[in-house]
Structure 1
Amino acid sequence: MNKTLLVVLIVLALALIAYNVTLVNFSNPLEGNSIVAIIGIMASLCAIVLLLLYVMSKKVQKEVDKKN
């Protein structure tokens, strides 16, 4: 996966987090559309974690290949 694509995907996930934060009703966060926004925030955070894990695994793979 191209590094530019990774950056674009992470920026899109951050943009989704920012958008969903605006939809959360902080006085009642577990009712109505707020719960959907919270689920969207958690899904975006999971996507970012997975992308960062992918980057780290590629770095480890390069180190292992360099040793062999």
Structure 2
Amino acid sequence: MKIFTSILIVLALALIVFNVTLLDFSNPLQGNSMVAFVGIAASFCAVLILLIFRMSKKIEEKMRDNN
């Protein structure tokens, strides 16, 4: 499970980098820049969710080991 979440985190980070390259910094909220901004936000949320999931699995393993 750790390898799977690591791969997904790397893919989400790659999407963030890709979408940053699509941003037009002179008009950041118009046209394709808005799509890129939404993609960056969605990828950032995915990274956070995956990190929370990974932490919850670590807590679950510790709870299982203590019993």
Q: Give the TM-score taking structure 2 as reference length.
A: 0.94
> Which residue number corresponds to residue 13 of structure 2?
14
> Which residue number corresponds to residue 28 of structure 2?
29
The CA RMSD over aligned residues, in Å, is: 0.8
CA distance in 2, matches of 1:33, 1:63: 45
Offset at residue 65 of structure 1 (A): 1.4
2:52 pairs with 1:53: yes
Structure 1 runs of 4+ aligned residues shifted over 2 Å read none
Q: Structure 2: which amino acid aligns with 1:24?
A: L
Summarize deviations over 1:7-66 as a string: whole Å, max 9, x none: 111110011001000000011100011000000000000000000000100111111112
Q: Give the TM-score taking structure 1 as reference length.
A: 0.93
> Which residue number corresponds to residue 42 of structure 2?
43
Q: Structure 2: which amino acid aligns with 1:5?
A: F
**Paired residue secondary structure (2:27):** coil
CA distance in 1, matches of 2:8, 2:35: 21
Aligned residues: 67
Structure 1 residue runs without a partner (length 5+): none
Percent of paired sites with the same residue:
55
